[in-house]
Amino acid sequence: MPTELWLLRHAKSDWPADVRSDLERPLNARGRESAPRMGRHMAAQGWLPDRVLCSPARRTRETLEGLLGTWPVAPPVDYEPQVYEAALPDLLAALAPRLQREGRLLLIGHNPGMLQLLRHLAQPPLALPEPKLYPTCMLARLALDARQPLAPQRAQVLGLQPVRELPA
């Protein structure tokens, strides 16, 4: 099976006055609606991962919960501290050992690392909905090069799906 890497930035988050840590920021109302909407779309398309690699931040965990509630089967999940506030080298290091074992790996993380990773992996030209931004709850699906899965600009972009373009 060819290796696919799917990148999902967490759904829209909030920063309530009583939350002191970035790590504990929850989803806002739009985010709580967006995550299940993306999950339903993924399930309808047959895009169900073999494993999920998720930042331990509350907003990424809540995004994952929204997805899982719409999928017929929950895949194994790894909560990886290295993904939180990760720059490109951190994400590559977290992904490398997992790509050999999984056919379809979903990474749920944060900007700016997600945008850096997408730009690093994707074959040009990369047509983002907003060129300087990786929107919240946007799914990027990549087919990785079997010989060099994390090599620069070797991944084929199978699709970019912003949640805002999905029906409610």
C-alpha 31/C-alpha 141 separation (Å) is 20
The answer to whether the predicted template modeling score (pTM) of the entire model surpasses 0.75 is yes
C-alpha 116/C-alpha 1 separation (Å) is 26
Q: Which CATH number among 3.90.76.10, 3.40.50.620, 3.30.420.10, 3.40.50.1240 corresponds to the domain 4-11+23-165?
A: 3.40.50.1240
Render pLDDT for 133-164 as a digit per residue (tens, 0 to 9): 899 999 999 999 888 999 999 999 999 999 99
C-alpha 42/C-alpha 29 separation (Å) is 21
Sorted by where each begins, the domain ranges of the chain are 4-11+23-165
Bridge-based pairing state of the strands 138-143 and 156-162: antiparallel
Cα 26 to chain center, whole Å?
17
Render pLDDT for 49-72 as a digit per residue (tens, 0 to 9): 999 999 999 999 999 999 999 999
